Amino acid sequence: MKVAVIGGGPGGLYTAALLKRQSPEHEVTLWERNAPDDTFGFGVVLSDETLGGIESADPAVHRALSEEFVRWDDIDVVHRGRVLTSGGHGFAALGRRRLLEILHERCRALGVTLRFSSEAPPAAELARSHDLVVAADGVHSRTRDAHRDAFRPTLTTHRCRYIWLAADFALDAFRFELAETEHGLMQLHGYPFSPHASTVIVEMREEVWRRAGLDRCDEDTSIEQCGKYFADFLGGRPLRSNHSTWTAFRTVVNEHWSHRNTVLLGDAAHTAHFSIGSGTKLAVEDALALIAHLTDRPTVTEALAAYEAERRPVVASTQRAARASLEWFENLAVHVDQPPRRFAFNLLTRSRRVTHDNLRLRDADFVAAVEREAGIPPATPPMFTPFRLRELTLRNRVVVSPMDMYSAVDGTPDDFHLVHLGARALGGAGLVMTEMVCVSPQGRITPGCTGLYEPEHEDAWRRITDFVHTRAPGTAIGVQLGHSGRKGSTRLMWEGIDQPLPDGNWPLVAASPLPYRPGVNQMPKALTGPELAGIREQFVRSAESAARAGFDLLELHCAHGYLLSGFLSPLTNRRDDAYGGDLEGRLRYPLEVFDAVRAVWPAERPMTVRISATDWAAGGTTADDAVTVARAFADHGADAIDVSTGQVVPDEKPDYGRSYQTPFADRIRHEVGVPVVAVGAISSWDDVNSLILAGRADLCALARPHLYDPNWTLHAAADQGYTGPGAPWPQPYRAGSRKPPTGRTL
């Protein structure tokens, strides 16, 4: 093949070398606009996984790198002058310039044509004369910009400014340090890359950067100012730069990575925030995958498709972790007042890739010290510590999340609900929540939804709460009250979610006359003042009935696009009266309902509110709005906020991923000072332990894991060897409290 490589960074150089090593007959030319010794930044960190791939693909490069690496195991987190060290992490780094030199030498030895200080011809021109064009031309890729219609990039600029510097001394650990200045918080990320030098990145929020006047500083003045902010760390030693400028990080995502015979690689295709150290790693791994598929596939087209299919899920996972990490640093002020060890644990687990259990394997003493500081009893996983809301003490932090079962008849729960909720109560969770229980027949989502508006409903629910309290003592059961609003009168989920009934539809009401799906769902009627008062009274009557039925906790459903959520979101509330307009107006009716329910709900029993912290849609509820909404409910007496997201409009674009909704809960917990329930893709007991110990949540609600395993909490205790009061096995089940052997081992 005749191959053109645009960009002489590590990804482009390594791709060129591997291509030529794969087949000496390939004609490979690489263009780099800068001189060979021009480079930006200082150190590069590579993982053992990446190094293993390099060793397999090109042992010569691996040997050369191994001779240069600086290795270390520790991470130091400096919090208000206190150094907290966690070990066992395993890093390897070298200077970026030396990395490029090694790759230059390898390319030349293999016969790659390197054209430095030379602008590459346009990719379209190269594509006509070459079999393959590899665009490794970085975050500001000209190739990507020239073919935007094909690659369909999305570039997101984030809220911090950073500058890439170096210090002429070697750190002995990865170092995170804070400077609490008169202008605001600044942070330092540092790590060694040679026996005599370290990378030093200084980062801060945009507004802090401007208040400090750094937006008006030249390169030398910026270095001088950074030296002053971190003078204790530097101990009088200077910082230096390399054409360093203040930059706002940009996340690059492309819908497509290839266009005909042109393919994006590395930062041109995707970026990951430097705080998880994956930029060069991703580029090198891209190169390894690309070459493997070019070797295995009969055509370039098939190879490029296979390359993208393999790499896209890996990159998406890394970008989710990087996004979580960068947002943690963007919101550093939320966490800085935590106790020192909890702050350090929170920082180390910020990306959700390092977890409680993983960190305990790396450094058990560090995790034990964090747990002691948090007051967790010895040999007790954080998830099995009690939590108190008013007069209700939950024995652990696990909640069975509300899950619609669509199995009621005329609103009445039956034996299915008794078995469903009873089994999960026996399964060890601290709190079991009902599905959304509707306050009227017209407030149901489907004909199969449960209610609390007839005497027989109350009797049926009393049967269930009696079972839980009698046969699963210590388990609390809560009721979630709601009204479907414009999302009502639809089929059972498995018959067509959000699809209207084929017949027997009932009229819908909402904040505004906006159908959920225009042309599909029916037009709701905008509620009048008297109708609003009537529905508020329905909530009151249902709450009184729930109290008599014996529920321990009541949650008001103000999320997911149902009636009260429809008032909160600007996308679904277009009213021009006192119940619309700005957020204060949109909050008015949900708060009126809350106040009315709280007034009749027994004072000793807690009341929570579920909200959608973002609509995942332009013009909708934002994370800032969510803080305001949570604060308003807390001020009115909410004991906790159950923080969910989305499901308000059908064209939402959620940013799915592991524990993807927990950052919203974390922010509300710290800014409002109210307990929070975290939900959303929390799937393992390790996730729960991590979130609780880091202080990001007080309770964790899990849905699908409890559908898979009603005894999820008890099994989590058994897996961790825990036998304490936070997860007692029911007396009839105790013989099964140890995991049975799966087979003979030799």
Enumerate the active-site residues.
Answer: 562
**What does the radius of gyration of the chain's CA atoms come to, in whole angstroms?**
29
Residues in the chain: 746
Strand partners of residue 27: 2
Tell me how far apart the alpha carbons of residues 85 and 78 are, in angstroms, rounded to a whole number: 9
Strand pairing of 392-394 and 387-389?
antiparallel
**DSSP conformation letters of 314-342:** HHHHHHHHHHHHHHHHHTHHHHTTS-HHH
H helix count then E strand count, the chain: 27, 29
Phi, psi of 420 (to 5 degrees): -60, -55
* CB 262 within 8 Å of CB 135: yes
| Letter string b/e over residues 94-111, b meaning 16 or more CB atoms within 10 A of that residue's CB | bbbbbbbbbbbebbeebe
Q: Is 529 exposed, middle or buried (0-12, 13-18, 19+ CB in 10 A)?
A: exposed
**DSSP conformation letters of 191-243:** EEEETTEEEEEEEEEHHHHHHTTGGG--HHHHHHHHHHHTHHHHTTPPEE-SS
User: How many angstroms separate the first and last alpha carbons of the chain?
Assistant: 53
Nearest alpha-carbon partner for 198 in 247, 236, 239: 239
Nearest alpha-carbon partner for 683 in 382, 398, 324: 398
Nearest alpha-carbon partner for 480 in 512, 445, 508: 445
Q: What are the tokens at 18?
A: 């591997």
* CB 361 within 8 Å of CB 373: no
Q: Classify 156 as helix, strand or coil.
A: strand
* CB 295 within 8 Å of CB 18: no
Tell me how far apart the alpha carbons of residues 588 and 607 are, in angstroms, rounded to a whole number: 18
Q: What are the tokens at 563?
A: 């009636």
Q: What angle, rounded to 10 degrees, do the helices at 712-719 and 685-694 form? A: 80
What separation in angstroms does the CA of 21 have from each of 26, 281, 303? 9, 20, 18
Q: What angle, rounded to 10 degrees, do the helices at 279-296 and 300-330 form? A: 170
Tell me how far apart the alpha carbons of residues 305 and 259 are, in angstroms, rounded to a whole number: 10
Three-class DSSP labels, 470-535? HHCCCCEEEEEEECCHHHCCECCHHHHCCCECCCCCCCCEECCCCCCCCCCCCCCEECCHHHHHHH
What separation in angstroms does the CA of 82 have from each of 137, 190, 263, 343, 669? 42, 16, 48, 11, 25
Nearest alpha-carbon partner for 114 in 208, 2, 5: 5
Nearest alpha-carbon partner for 558 in 671, 494, 638: 638
Q: What are the tokens at 744?
A: 């003979």
Give the H/E segment covering residue 363.
none
**Residue 213 backbone zone (phi > 0: left; psi -120 to 50: alpha; other: beta):** left
Could you identify the residue written with the tokens 């959304």? 436
